[in-house]
Structure 1
Amino acid sequence: MSTHLDLLTGDAAAGLLDAAVATAGGELVDWRVRQVDHRPGSTTTVAYRATVRWGGVERSETLGASVGRARDGRKPGVVTLSDGDATVAVWRFPGDPALPALPRAFDPAAVEELLAGLGIGPAERAHPELKVRAYRPTRRAVIEARAEAARVFLKVLRPRKVADLHRRHDLLSRAGLPVPRPLGWSDDGLLVLSPLHGTEMRAAVRDAGPIPSPLDVLDLLDRLPAEVRDLPRRPAWSESAEHYAGVIGAALPAEAGRAADLAGAVRTRLAERGTGADPTHGDLYEAQIMLTDGRITGLLDVDSAGPGHRADDLACLVAHLDVLSLVHGSESAQARYAARMRGLAADYAEGFVAAPGGRGVDERDLAARVAGVLLSLATGPHRVQEQGWQAATSRRLDVVAGWLDGSRLVPSGTGRA
């Protein structure tokens, strides 16, 4: 395992966190790793859930630490520490050095002023309620802000990315796609977005509720405007299979060879199709789709929209549904849920292949792209430090192999209600 991973996830991390908290006047009571973002040869970033005692009062805190981002140590609120071999930047949420807008987005008074400036605040001044919906250290955060007469989402990202994301939301919103409307943005990386109506497709999948058909998903993608082709091209998940195989190999050396072989097989298959020029969402899966009574009424996270292969969007949805078959639960309930999720993934794949009117995709190509997405998802158990992540990673690689050899693409009839 990488020494940086050891440093930030092993016993040595306690000393780093303790020293950083003590610098701010606190005492570290306990801690655990919540999320790991390891990029071999580049950076390693870890998020922690910690209990810190401040003046005799214990509070739950989110801490972050990163190796390989030298400039972070010069940011206010960041403590720089060294073990003699590596320099580590440590911070307390919301003081993320790569997300300068985050402290403002998590300050009720500042958000109140922001809403008032946009003309969407309450008639009577009152601090909004703020809730963190997502946080990937040094990469992005999403905060929901609720006031008496307003509800918005504050998306915080690296400053150089905010203008581009605003452009994507504006383009798709004007084209009639059900995406959050951009309400304003700032140079320091803050984008204000309108809320969407409906519930996540993930909830409908979990509860066996009504969900869109494969043709409904294709209809949604048909609505992407041609101008999406002019956006910067970003690699599809399947095109990054070798990168994720390297991440797996660094975390779990016993599977390094198999992961590399699977990634090589994906690369060979993708080479048969070349570069795509379809308008694509770039990260389409069940948590990005909002539903009302089974109808698609919202589409989230358009950060990766751009030219590519439509099959990659379809593969992303299939792969995420299939990986849900590997979640934990009681043995009997898990077996039923796993069978339903696996059947649902296969049913969607079959529907995408068999779509009439020349809309279907090639089965072999779709399977390779599903395998590529699943390789990226195989890093998940280690990233969130799931208990028994080593075995969970190996199980996900088994599923990757199943899509490549064709054994996974077998409709079971159990996916749909």
Structure 2
Amino acid sequence: MDEARQVELFTDTVGGRLSRAACPAATATLLELHHRPGAGVSGLYELSDGTSVRYLVATSEDLPAGSGTPLPGDDVDLVWWEHPADPKLPGLATASVPETVERIWGRGSPLEHLETVTYRPLRRAVLRARLGGETLYLKVLRRDADQLAARHRLLLEAGVPAPPVVGPVTDEVVALATVPGSPLAQALRDSPTLPLPAAAILNLVDAFPVDLLEMSSRHAWTDRIDAYADAAAVAVPAAAARIAATVARIHAVTGAVERGPLAPTHGDLYEANLFVEAGRISGVIDVDGAGPGYLVDDLACFVAHVSVLPTIDEGYAHTAAFADAYLRAFGDELEERGISRAGLLARTAAVVLTLVAGARDETLADWEATALARIRLAEGYAAQAWGLLRVTRPFDE
């Protein structure tokens, strides 16, 4: 069954099937829908019978035999489990039990608070724990938690302000301290002028240590654009032709220009992962993908995320000018390094397209308008890239 139909089922009948299977007296409410292009769909549901609440997850992804519980129904094969028994995140139970968290990471301090910050079924989770007045973030991974801890140590040794690792890596869970300052996202919203110069971001990435080149690599967002474009078309079927045309232009440009040399990169660089204080970068978080990559991809990721901020909240309306300023400054610097501005534009368009499906939120009446606004942004960047390429390398479209 195609993924578009799977998405429909998760917003339509899966909740009722879960109720009948787990607690017939309960009502199921879809809290989050996660569509991973090419892999399947997962949904997080709240089940309430009026006196108690349970959280269940159902997925159409392929899992090893014996994982979870089959969910009856002949339209699509599903498996479900009760949170936190995620089949691919065994450490989620470790990080979700207060007594365990206090014992492993408390260092003698009592646990005062524990909450889930984010949970992507079968992928990762982050929980926030307060122990003895100190806040820690518990990152739950499928694998390679030791390698994540090593990334943090390498960055800190190079003077990059990543969060220090606290305590032992246990059950693929890494505990991290907080970084000073506030998220750049907040500074972008609050400031009428650019709160962080482009040079500060370039200097940050340039400071990433060469030892990161020995780490495992992760595909850049542009490398997965076809799968994300399919997800965008599933979310907004009426725009499928526009999405396909934009992807064709992205491929035409990225296939015609050089990407630059392999370099140490963040892998998911955007405003929520940077913290600022007194006009400087005071912290960089979510370095799970730090490793070999290309500067142009880090910069495109950053510009794309800043450019979609106005689609998230009207308080960011003025940040469209910030995105343009970063794009110009990054393009100038890349050209100084022999890397095409057209490539930056095309890769920015690609990252924006990866954010289209994420706009889908059945609890919001205007989510489709948000998705369409992001499609228009991607079209604009792709058109600029294509036009620039045609000026520098004329040929017929």
1:360 Cα offset (Å): 8.3
Contact 1:52 1:58 in 2 (8 A): yes
Contact 1:35 1:384 in 2 (8 A): no
1:196 is the counterpart of 2:179:
yes
Secondary structure of 2:216's partner?
Answer: coil
1:363 is the counterpart of 2:341:
yes
Q: 2:229 aligns with which of 231, 245, 258?
A: 245
Secondary structure of 1:316's partner?
Answer: helix
For 1:121 and 1:206, the matched residues in 2 are separated by 39
CA-based RMSD of the aligned residues comes to 2.6
1:3 is the counterpart of 2:5:
yes
Secondary structure of 2:218's partner?
Answer: coil
Aligned to 2:59: 66
Secondary structure of 2:42's partner?
Answer: strand
1:175 Cα offset (Å): 1.8
Counterparts of residues 176-195 of structure 1 (less than 5 Å) = 176-186=159-169, 188-195=171-178
Aligned to 1:57: 51
Q: What TM-score comes out, normalization by structure 1 length?
A: 0.84
1:155 is the counterpart of 2:139:
yes
Aligned to 2:270: 285
Deviation digits for residues 231-266 of structure 1 (CA, Å, limit 9, x no counterpart): 222211122111111112233332223222212221
Q: 1:165 aligns with which of 141, 145, 148?
A: 148
Question: CA 1:402/1:294 → structure 2, altered by over 3 Å: closer, same or farther?
Answer: same
1:92 Cα offset (Å): 2.9
Secondary structure of 2:304's partner?
Answer: helix
Question: CA 1:150/1:326 → structure 2, altered by over 3 Å: closer, same or farther?
Answer: closer
1:337 Cα offset (Å): 3.8
1:187 Cα offset (Å): 5.8
Question: CA 1:208/1:81 → structure 2, altered by over 3 Å: closer, same or farther?
Answer: same
1:211 Cα offset (Å): 2.1
1:217 is the counterpart of 2:201:
yes
Q: What TM-score comes out, normalization by structure 2 length?
A: 0.88
Deviation digits for residues 122-158 of structure 1 (CA, Å, limit 9, x no counterpart): 2xxx334112111111111111111225332110011
Contact 2:117 2:126 in 1 (8 A): yes
For 1:294 and 1:19, the matched residues in 2 are separated by 55
Secondary structure of 2:26's partner?
Answer: strand
Deviation digits for residues 59-102 of structure 1 (CA, Å, limit 9, x no counterpart): 3x44321013332x724xx4321212422222232222221111
1:106 is the counterpart of 2:93:
no
Task: Return 5+ residue gaps in structure 2 as ranges.
Answer: 388-397
1:374 is the counterpart of 2:359:
no
Counterparts of residues 31-110 of structure 1 (less than 5 Å) = 31-40=29-38, 42-48=39-45, 50-53=46-49, 57-59=51-53, 61-71=54-64, 74-75=66-67, 78-110=68-100
Secondary structure of 1:183's partner?
Answer: coil
May I ask how many residue pairs the two structures share in their alignment?
383
Question: CA 1:136/1:229 → structure 2, altered by over 3 Å: closer, same or farther?
Answer: same
1:315 is the counterpart of 2:315:
no
1:352 Cα offset (Å): 1.5
For 2:158 and 2:100, the matched residues in 1 are separated by 32
Secondary structure of 1:70's partner?
Answer: coil
For 1:360 and 1:208, the matched residues in 2 are separated by 33
Secondary structure of 1:206's partner?
Answer: helix
Secondary structure of 1:193's partner?
Answer: strand
Amino acid at match of 2:229: A
Identity %: 31
Contact 1:63 1:90 in 2 (8 A): yes
Aligned to 2:309: 324
Amino acid at match of 1:69: D
